[in-house]
Chain A
Amino acid sequence: MSGLFDDLRDLYQEVILDHGRRPRNFRRLEDADATARGDNPMCGDRIELFLKRAPDGTIADAAFQGRGCAISTASASLMTEVVKGKAPEQAKALGAAFRELAMTGACPDCDAALAEDMERLAPLSGVHEFPSRVKCATLAWHTLNAALDGTKEASSE
């Protein structure tokens, strides 16, 4: 049975396993000025996202808490890292590009300005081969939109 799961290394790359085990920015932001909750009622994944905005509106800090699988935890962890310093519209554009990456494995028409961030998120592209897991990867980004729009709640269902 050795190597039974070797071909799953595309999905569970070392970056994912690392962020899944030790998520970054995994804390509450007591001085957050935008929060939202994301739920995946099918599997029970749940995150609470906290954003701190700078005076010019850009995202000064992002953090999250919650529970979920390695994919959803790693995705939220990576997201909180890449959205820092972004204007809300930039963050949303990145989210849209990421969702395409998660669903199709590529984002050929992505804005070149996003290329560097997309490179960081690329380890999650493997989920596109696992339709039932795509929403694990996109939950954090749905929640980000809800926080930025002030709608408080998001669901990846």
Chain B
Amino acid sequence: MDGVTTAPFDVARIRQDFPILSQPQARGRPLVFLDSGASAQKPRAVIEAMVRCMETAYANVHRGAYRLSELATDAYEAARAAAARFLNAADAREVVFTRNSTEAINLVAHAWGRGVMQPGQAVLISELEHHANIVPWQMLRDDKGNELRVCRVTDAGELDMEDLASKLADGKVGLVAMAHMSNVLGTVTPVERIVALAHAHGAKVLLDGSQAAVHRRVDVQAIGCDFYCFTGHKLYGPTGIGVLWARLEHLDRMPPFLGGGDMIASVTFERSEWAPPPAKFEAGTPAIVEAVGLHAAIDYVTAIGMPAIEAHERALVDHAMGALSEVPGLTLLGRAQDRGGVFAFAMDAAHPHDLATLLDRAGIAVRAGRHCAEPLHARFGAENGTTRASFGLYTTKEEVDLLARALIEAREFFR
């Protein structure tokens, strides 16, 4: 948005865009929603766009030679173009719609991992990955024998770049698959450096942007990666829609993931010919209404401005570091220099689940458990799990203060 003057970031105004934030809650307390890292709330613009689609412009896409189907197809392809612009992709054909990030990573593990990589090539992930970026590679290893390497994370919760370099050194790594931002530590990984190192050693790079794409502007061309994915429901959009971006040359080389209608050029009982990307990877009727909702979500955050959202969240993170450090008995997981609005913590006097039950009573929604990152919790000796507060663009400093005060009182309750 260079050179464009945008309205100043007004969190009170933004909160009015999210109907759920003004819904009356049990016991009359306002909702303090600090679980946006798991799934974010939806602005009215997204809800209304989806309703409007179903009420006025809904039919199956890429099929009917009638006006309504053409309208729906246009809306679906416009969503693809919006996702391409959101990531600054060179070409909208590089955007494949998936169900979520998990499906996007599985798509790469199947179509690139089994279809293009050689069995002698290794996959390199890190200790801070979500299960979605661990399990598909274990399945590839067990299926095709591709070694799975794991880059260490430092005690501060940052990627150990020396370890990364040493695990790339023998040139056997075919793919580096890493989170752009940790869903537990909040760490933002140095993706440009990861890409430079990986490419220097002949490895391609897949970035899991599930968390990062929500909090800062992503430019896949500037990052230089090969694959990037994010999910709609964390970006204030609907569930059931995600994006895999991949360089067109890679998509051309990859065999399909799922077979069915919409992904073929021609079918006989002897053989089928694949449609060109992205259709090759979108078998069956896609998530049409959800794509329209995602488009509205992208328009919504773009209008506010990703730099403005990032600045708001940086201020929140600084505020939270101060407020949470004053809670006695609280241990934060990870203290990365570059981090986003995700805080996982353990309290000396209370188990994460007991803590979450108490916070819920105060109207504060947080997640307790291991957040689909069991190996990371083992790495930090937090086998009991952690309680996690994660922020969205509607989160306020007052909410962070409420959390800190409730934590102090919860500790008294259990002591």
Q: Which residues of A contact B (CB under 8 A)?
A: 1, 4-5, 7-8, 11-12, 17, 20, 42-44, 67-71, 130, 133, 136
Q: What is the distance, in angstroms, from A78's C-beta to the closest C-beta of chain B?
A: 17
Q: How far is the CA of A20 from the CA of B413 in the complex (A)?
A: 13
Q: Which of B354, B384, B413 has the most CB of A within 10 A?
A: B354
Q: What is the distance, in angstroms, from B357's C-beta to the closest C-beta of chain A?
A: 6
Q: Is the CB of B357 within 8 A of A42?
A: no
Q: Is the CB of A4 within 8 A of B362?
A: yes
Q: List 23 A-B contacts (CB under 8 A).
A: A1-B406, A1-B409, A4-B362, A4-B406, A5-B362, A5-B409, A5-B410, A5-B413, A8-B361, A8-B413, A42-B369, A44-B385, A67-B383, A68-B351, A68-B384, A69-B352, A69-B353, A70-B351, A70-B414, A71-B353, A71-B354, A133-B353, A136-B353
The residue that A43 contacts in the complex, of B350, B385, B405, B409, with Cβ under 8 A, is: B385
Q: In the complex, which residue of chain A has the Cβ closest to the Cβ of B374?
A: A44
Besides A43-B369, A70-B354, 13 more A-B contacts (Cβ < 8 Å) are: A1-B409, A4-B362, A5-B413, A8-B357, A8-B361, A11-B357, A44-B384, A67-B384, A69-B351, A70-B351, A70-B414, A71-B353, A136-B353
Inter-chain contacts of B414 with A (CB < 8 A): 12, 17, 70
Does B31 touch A at the CB level, under 8 Å?
Answer: no
Identify which of residues 346-365 in chain B touch chain A, using a CB-to-CB cut-off of 8 Å.
350-354, 357-358, 361-362
Identify which of residues 255-297 in chain B touch chain A, using a CB-to-CB cut-off of 8 Å.
none
- Mostly, the B contact residues are helix
Q: Is the CB of B358 within 8 A of A5?
A: yes
Does B368 touch A at the CB level, under 8 Å?
Answer: yes
Q: What is the distance, in angstroms, from A11's C-beta to the closest C-beta of chain B?
A: 7
A-B residue pairs, 6 tightest by C-beta: A69-B351, A69-B353, A70-B354, A69-B354, A44-B385, A5-B413
Residue count of chain B within 8 Å CB distance of chain A: 23
Q: What is the distance, in angstroms, from A107's C-beta to the closest C-beta of chain B?
A: 23
Q: How far is the CA of A71 from the CA of B352 in the complex (A)?
A: 12
Does B370 touch A at the CB level, under 8 Å?
Answer: yes
Identify which of residues 370-390 in chain B touch chain A, using a CB-to-CB cut-off of 8 Å.
370, 374, 377, 383-385
Q: Is the CB of B369 within 8 A of A44?
A: yes
Inter-chain contacts of A130 with B (CB < 8 A): 357
Q: What is the distance, in angstroms, from A46's C-beta to the closest C-beta of chain B?
A: 9
Identify which of residues 178-234 in chain B touch chain A, using a CB-to-CB cut-off of 8 Å.
none
Q: What is the distance, in angstroms, from B38's C-beta to the closest C-beta of chain A?
A: 14
Q: What is the distance, in angstroms, from A18's C-beta to the closest C-beta of chain B?
A: 12
Q: Is the CB of A5 within 8 A of B353?
A: no
Inter-chain contacts of B357 with A (CB < 8 A): 8, 11, 130, 133
The residue that B358 contacts in the complex, of A8, A20, A71, with Cβ under 8 A, is: A8
